[in-house]
Amino acid sequence: MNAPEPQVIRMYEARQEIYPREAKGRYASLRWLCVWLTQLAFYGLPWLTWNGRQAVLFDLTTRKFYLFGLVLWPQDFIYLAALLIICAWLLFLVTAVAGRVWCGFACPQTVYTEIFLWIERKIEGPRSARMALAKQGPSLRKFSKRTAKHLAWGLVALWTGFTFVGYFTPIKVLGAESFTLAFGPWEWFWVLFYALATYGNAGWLREQVCKYMCPYARFQSSMFDRDTLIVTYDAKRGEPRGKVAKDTGLSVNGGSCIDCTMCVQVCPTGIDIRNGLQYECIGCAACVDACNSVMDKVEQPRGLIRYSTDRALATGMSAQDIRRRAMRPRVLIYTAGLLLVVIAVASSLVLRTPLKMDVIRDRGSMGREVDGGAIENVYRLQIMNTTEQPHRYRIVAAGLPGLVLATTDEVTLAGTETRAVPIRLRAPHGAGQAGSNKITVQLTALDDPALTVKETAVFIVPR
């Protein structure tokens, strides 16, 4: 027997360009709605004004995050963690119920790819024209079309980078700077970096991001089960596929699928949904739109490719049964978890006092005896007025009989000011036992009693 001829195996291969055909239909419209809503929010928010400042601004230099009336300080970073937890639960819940709808409709990668594809279609034409153009040798027409496309992409990308930085540097200042290109080095870096990321991801990488780079694509399957809604091809109805027979609208082989490959041509990740659920499928339902319009043309009922579940496909459940199965333990647990975190965060945000204080005892002296045997302790109050208005506060100390402030008991802080205020507390001779005594220091705004914080501290009586 001859030894078999060796063959070279490559572990890396060049990308195969995908030219998705434009899909029109219910889900395509829904996706465009998502594109409009998310981009109106993203491009629009930084231009809004609130309290005479930018309504949404993440000011990294002064470490304050402004969200309309809410001002978050570094001490509030727990809310960022809470926000991430909420997002995670939401993703679990949505994925368990409806699969990768996030991917197909709202993910920035999808949204920007949709915008970039639209530009591509406007300049280079539909799928067939784009494929022909790609095959063509160099020509002036090809060069000018390509240049126009990349210029348009570049403009959208730059505007996106500019908007992104506008969340961190006041966007109107940034806008004024952009006329003279007087950005600071970091502004330059981030505008260009974010623009490049948009251009590269939506213009060049596209489905490669979903297939190879996106972590969510890798772990979302752990939230799937047999009752999760997925985009599926109804093989029972479709097979055996074949060319369309003129009279029936069915294929010559008797199945509903007439093998027109429309569903493959529209797929942005370049897969054939008729091979079953694949990890590359981002659930965008473009194939559903495509197949439905084909079914309309051949006068067959829609839904050869449709949203359904693994179980429904195997058992032939009705739509109503599918809906009923949505309320399964996994979904209920995700919902409960989500509600719990949302309620906890909401109530803590509502109950939050926009005033913070630390009481720091002077370490240098234990307790000092003054005239008449009274004892004094020195403290430093680290006070943060986290509102945007100035306030006058009264300091009250309590916890020992006769405990009073020996220094001024009122202090004024400007809006968003942080200040260290040294105070002396005095207790009469004989108050409290030798050693440390628990006391409290309370700070209350004179104009708004709701602005109150109370901190415990230690008062030391020397032996």
Partner 1 sequence: MSDFTNNFWNLYIVVLTVLGVLGCAVLLYSQSKYKVAKHNGPVGTTGHVWDEDLTELNTPMPRWWMWMFYLTIVFGIAYLFLYPGLGSYAGKLGWNSAKEYKAELAKADSEYGPLFEKYRQQDLKAVAADPQAHAIGERLFLTYCAQCHGSDARGNKGFPNLTDKDWLHGGAPETIKQTIMNGRHGVMPAMGAALGSDKDIENVAHYVLSLSGSAASDPIKSVFGKSKFSACMACHGAGGVGNQAMGAPNLSDKTWLYGGSAETIMETIRKGRDNTMPAFGDFLGESKVHVLSAYVWSLSNETK
Q: Is 280 helix (H, G, I), strand (E, B) or coil?
A: coil
**Residue 269 contact, options ligand SF4, partner 1, none, Cβ 5-8 Å cut-off depending on partner type:** ligand SF4
Q: How far is the CB of 12 from partner 1 (least distance, A)?
A: 4
Q: Torsion angle, CA of 190/191/194/198, rounded to 10 degrees? A: -170
Q: How far is the CB of 144 from ligand SF4 (least distance, A)?
A: 31
CB 429 within 8 A of CB 372: yes
For residue 275, the tally of other CB atoms under 10 A from its CB is 10
**Residue 305 contact, options partner 1, ligand SF4, none, Cβ 5-8 Å cut-off depending on partner type:** ligand SF4
Residue 13 touches partner 1, criterion: CB under 8 A:
yes
Q: How far is the CB of 205 from partner 1 (least distance, A)?
A: 8
Q: How far is the CB of 321 from ligand SF4 (least distance, A)?
A: 23
Give the Cα separation of 238 and 233 in Å (integer): 8
**Residue of the chain from 28, 223, 294, 381 that contacts ligand SF4 (CB under 6 A):** 294
Residue 423 touches partner 1, criterion: CB under 8 A:
yes
Residue 193 touches partner 1, criterion: CB under 8 A:
no
In DSSP terms, 385 is beta-bridged to: 355
Q: Scanning residues 339 to 398, which ones bind partner 1 (CB under 8 A)?
A: 362-365, 368, 376, 378-380
Give the Cα separation of 305 and 265 in Å (integer): 14
**Residue count, binding to partner 1 (CB under 8 A):** 29
Q: How far is the CB of 7 from partner 1 (least distance, A)?
A: 4
Residue 291 touches ligand SF4, criterion: CB under 6 A:
yes
Q: How far is the CB of 185 from partner 1 (least distance, A)?
A: 13
Q: Scanning residues 296 to 315, which ones bind ligand SF4 (CB under 6 A)?
A: 304-305
Residue 185 touches partner 1, criterion: CB under 8 A:
no
Q: Which of 148, 140, 141 is nearest to 120 (CA)?
A: 148
Give the Cα separation of 90 and 19 in Å (integer): 33
Name which of 128 and 433 has its Cβ closer to ligand SF4. 128
**Residue of the chain from 56, 195, 273, 395 that contacts ligand SF4 (CB under 6 A):** 273
**Residue of the chain from 271, 312, 331, 395 that contacts ligand SF4 (CB under 6 A):** 271
Name which of 196 and 298 has its Cβ closer to partner 1. 196
Residue 11 touches partner 1, criterion: CB under 8 A:
yes
Q: Torsion angle, CA of 393/398/401/402, rounded to 10 degrees? A: -20
Q: Is the peptide bond before 240 cis (omega within 30 degrees of 0)?
A: yes
For residue 244, the tally of other CB atoms under 10 A from its CB is 19
Enclosing H/E stretch for 91: helix 78-98
- Cα end-to-end distance, the chain, whole Å: 102
Residue 15 touches partner 1, criterion: CB under 8 A:
yes
CB 357 within 8 A of CB 380: no
CB 167 within 8 A of CB 56: yes
| Tokens of residue 442, six digits | 């309370």
**HSE-up (13 A, CA, CB side) for residue 128:** 1
**Residue 450 contact, options ligand SF4, partner 1, none, Cβ 5-8 Å cut-off depending on partner type:** none
Amino acid at 433: Q
Binding site for partner 1 (CB under 8 A): 3-15, 208, 212, 362-365, 368, 376, 378-380, 407, 420, 422-424
| Interaction site with ligand SF4 (CB under 6 A) | 231, 233, 238, 257-263, 266-269, 271, 273-274, 281-287, 290-291, 294, 304-305
